[in-house]
Structure 1
Amino acid sequence: MLFGMVCALGSALCFGAATVFQAAAARAAAPGTGSGVDVGLLWRALRQWRYVVGLALDGLGFLLEVVALRTLPLYAVGAALAASLAVTAALASRMLGVRLSRVEWGAVAAVCAGLALLALAAGREGHRSGPPGLPWALLGIAAGVLLLGVVGGRLPDRPRALVLGLGSGIGFGVVEVAVRLLDGVDLADPALWALLLGGGAAFLLLTSAFQRGAVTTATAGMVLGETLGPAAAGVVWLGDRTREGLGGLAVTGFALAVAASLTLARFGEPPPPAPEHTPPPEAGADRPG
């Protein structure tokens, strides 16, 4: 349990840093067609070194996430991943000089408190395989994420960011559930294809959401999409449980961690560049004649 929580928090640290790098690279990439499923945008972003660094951090974070998913309930891992925003906020404050308001520092503390409650209340992960059609349902949801991207890419900037961010979160949620269903690498297993399609679609949608519209909105949508669905699937179908008599404590911790993370959603956006120093005009330069 302790090792799983350490891996989940390590994954959150990697994902939190990766979000900043990827958001900066996506905005620096040349604009594309405006579609939510823009493969060309992903290619242009890959030419940015910051996006490559973000992908490397995502890769390490995913490996740690897989370990956590094998030892913790989905609801605990999901809440820990949402805490990546608290990690990013704290690092931004210390390393980048970003000022956090009292509300935001309170949200960081609330995330930590929520995770502490979850650590106390969470039981071991369930060992059920779920209904027989669950892997195929995940594959269908992953394909639906691509369709959602096509539709969302045609919306105005603000709802576009929310829809694409939510779609990316659903895609990442498919990955979380699929990891629990996999038992080795079997090319005939629909859960494996759901994992690959869901993860790829999530990256496409999130990259496009970061390029236009509010990154805060996109990040909030992603947090909701990747926490609520997998947590419900784990409890209903996969046998995730809490420790005896601590169900209410787990629900409180989960809600507190996710709600506080949404308060910190603006830290999915990279800090603005420092303004260039402009020398004062020479005396008399503004005077007529």
Structure 2
Amino acid sequence: MDILLPVLFALGAALSNALATVLQRKAALTVPRSDKLRAGLMLDLLRRRVWLAGIAAVIAAALCQAVALATGPLTVVQPLLVLELPFTLVIGTLLLRGRLSRAGWAAVCAVVAGLAVALGAASPEGNRTHVPMDLWIPALAVCVAAIAGLVLTGIRRPEGRGRAACFGLATAVAYAVTAALMKASMHTLDDDGVVAFLTAWQTYGFALFGVSALFFLENAMQAGPLVASQPAITLGDASVSLALGVTIYAEYVRGGWWLLPQLLGVALIVAGVSALSRVPLARTLTGDDRHAAGAGTA
């Protein structure tokens, strides 16, 4: 199977999402700040070309991810989106005149190297185009139950790292399900056309889970520091996507002694993402300034 095309489009999705984050944050920094909701906020943003460019980048990211999922395994596409955080920080240093220290750059390199090692050792294969309902039902039931449990646990916890991690994991599960359903709907579009795509339940399913993911993401960012939510989101999405790819799309990853370099790659990713989420620039780009006080620098 030609893996180059989905890899390129997955990288394009990660890069476009990163660019969108930076552009939207840059636009947000140019409008008057307020602790209260402002009815005119969207009107202010709509007048700014940089914000509109960010929206265009979001659309480009969605299209790239859709093509990547339609042409490649879920177990390849979603893990590559881990690169969104390093891309965001690198672009942020250029467009926002931020600064990434040597430790920050080392963390970026750790994420990139870890991802290369993990995916190279796993060598994911398989690209099933049709998933029967007897696989969808238990998979969705487990994921919905996991999301419900994480949200309920998060609600019961006070504001802080624990609550942010719970909502971050809920976001990750919702993102992974969104990707799995999007992959199915894109195959429907490719095989049966637009009408079939618009009438497929998977199309409305990925839209529902996608909106839910954004809602959980906002709560994760407000609940506690980025260092608690970002690793949960980034690593959780990749892990759940891997599980869904193997169980419902019959994708295959190498086992045996190959597990050792895979675990090494995962360890590098975990260390890199955790370090990057502590970088002051990362908190600036995500609007996590409330929790910046007292945090260390990378």
Deviation at 1:186, TM superposition (A): 4.7
Partner Cα distance (2:99, 2:243) in 1? 36
Residues 246, 215 of structure 1: alpha-carbon distance in 2 compared, 3 angstrom cutoff = same
Which letter maps to 1:177?
A
Q: SS at the partner of 2:128?
A: coil
**TM-score calculated relative to the size of structure 1:** 0.72
**TM-score calculated relative to the size of structure 2:** 0.70
2:165 is the counterpart of 1:162: yes
Q: Is the 8 A contact 2:104 2:275 kept in 1?
A: yes
Residue deviations 1:49-87, cap 9 Å, x none? 387665543322121112222333323222211111111
Deviation at 1:164, TM superposition (A): 1.7
The residue number in structure 1 matching 2:218 is 207
Partner Cα distance (2:168, 2:41) in 1? 17
- Of residues 122-131 and 188-197 in structure 1, the stretch that sits farther from structure 2 once superposed is 122-131
Structure 2: any 5+ residue segments left out of the alignment?
A: 190-195, 288-298
Residues 245, 217 of structure 1: alpha-carbon distance in 2 compared, 3 angstrom cutoff = closer
Which letter maps to 2:58?
D
Partner Cα distance (2:15, 2:129) in 1? 29
Deviation at 1:47, TM superposition (A): 5.9
Q: Give the 5 Å matches for 1:116-195.
A: 116-117=116-117, 120-121=120-121, 122-127=123-128, 129-130=130-131, 132-137=133-138, 139-140=140-141, 141-142=143-144, 145=147, 148-149=150-151, 152-153=154-155, 155-158=157-160, 159-182=162-185, 183-184=188-189, 185-186=196-197, 189-195=200-206
Higher relative helix content: 2
Partner Cα distance (1:230, 1:237) in 2? 10
The residue number in structure 1 matching 2:273 is 261
2:98 is the counterpart of 1:98: yes
Deviation at 1:172, TM superposition (A): 0.7
Which letter maps to 1:9?
L
Residue deviations 1:177-223, cap 9 Å, x none? 11233323456644333311110001112123324532332222211
- Of residues 264-273 and 69-78 in structure 1, the stretch that sits farther from structure 2 once superposed is 264-273
The residue number in structure 1 matching 2:111 is 111
- Of residues 204-213 and 129-138 in structure 1, the stretch that sits farther from structure 2 once superposed is 129-138
Q: Is the 8 A contact 1:148 1:167 kept in 2?
A: yes
Root-mean-square deviation over aligned CA pairs: 3.9
2:88 is the counterpart of 1:88: yes
Partner residue of 2:16 out of 14, 17, 29 = 14
Provide the aligned length of Structure 1 versus Structure 2.
264
Structure 1: any 5+ residue segments left out of the alignment?
A: 33-40, 274-289
Q: What is the identity percentage for the equivalent residue pairs of Structure 1 and Structure 2?
A: 28
Q: SS at the partner of 1:98?
A: coil
Q: SS at the partner of 1:83?
A: helix
